Amino acid sequence: MRIVIAGGHGQIALRLERLLAARGDEAAGIIRKPEQADELRQLGAEPVVLDLESASVEEVAERLEGADAAVFAAGAGPGSGAGRKETVDKAAAVLFADAAVRAGVRRFVVVSSMGADPAHEGDEIFDVYLRAKGEADAYVRGQDALDWTILRPGQLTNDAGTGLVRLEAHTGRGPIPRDDVAAVLAELVDTPATAGLTLELISGPAPVSVAVKSVAGN
């Protein structure tokens, strides 16, 4: 499979690219800075330099041509202001979805956030973030031309992955290593029967493949 990942230099994306390359898939990571390209190549991924905050839908669709799946894993990051929550967490996700539709890429997986809600209230940066993610998720859900799955991890950690997770429509809050988020994404990309689901993810009792199979088709 060829899988194109937006936010290709993000912490989860780098882990996902390594996993995909190791299993023989073709991973392409969209990155903003050319100097990030070597790190992707070392993982076995193809770097695609494109700024999703300024690119047109045609430019993004061109990069998605021929892909079997698209993963939106971009984020403005914890140090960014409210403006970039709108331009990256919301607008770039909408752009990527539109580009996938244009390029005919049906399988579309979004890394969202637990608590994302277009109706979330408040003016703090994190409130703006949860609202932006919620609006992006709602937009993706409205695209009939996409076989979408939305993944909402709990509190992200850099602990070593255990390969054991809880993946359900509602899990309640809890931590999850980024390693395990990447492993779940790799499995979801391969499991189109999870299309149409919004799933929460925290550490838990089930091996990743078992957890994904158990929600597939629900």
Enumerate residues 6+ apart whose C-beta is below 8 A from 131: 117, 118, 119, 120
The CA-atom distances, in angstroms, between 212 and each of 23, 72, 190, 197, 198 are: 18, 19, 10, 11, 12
User: Can 139 be counted among the known catalytic residues?
Assistant: no
Q: At what angle do helices 208-215 and 178-189 cross, to 10 degrees?
A: 50
Calculate the dihedral angle through the C-alpha atoms of 151, 157, 162, 168, rounding to the nearest 10 degrees: -30
Cβ atoms of 138 and 97 within 8 Å: the answer is no
Q: What is 160-203 written as a DSSP string?
A: PP-SEEEEES---S-EEEHHHHHHHHHHHHT-GGGTTEEEEEEE
Active-site residue identified among 72, 96, 108, 129: 129
Positions marked catalytic? 129
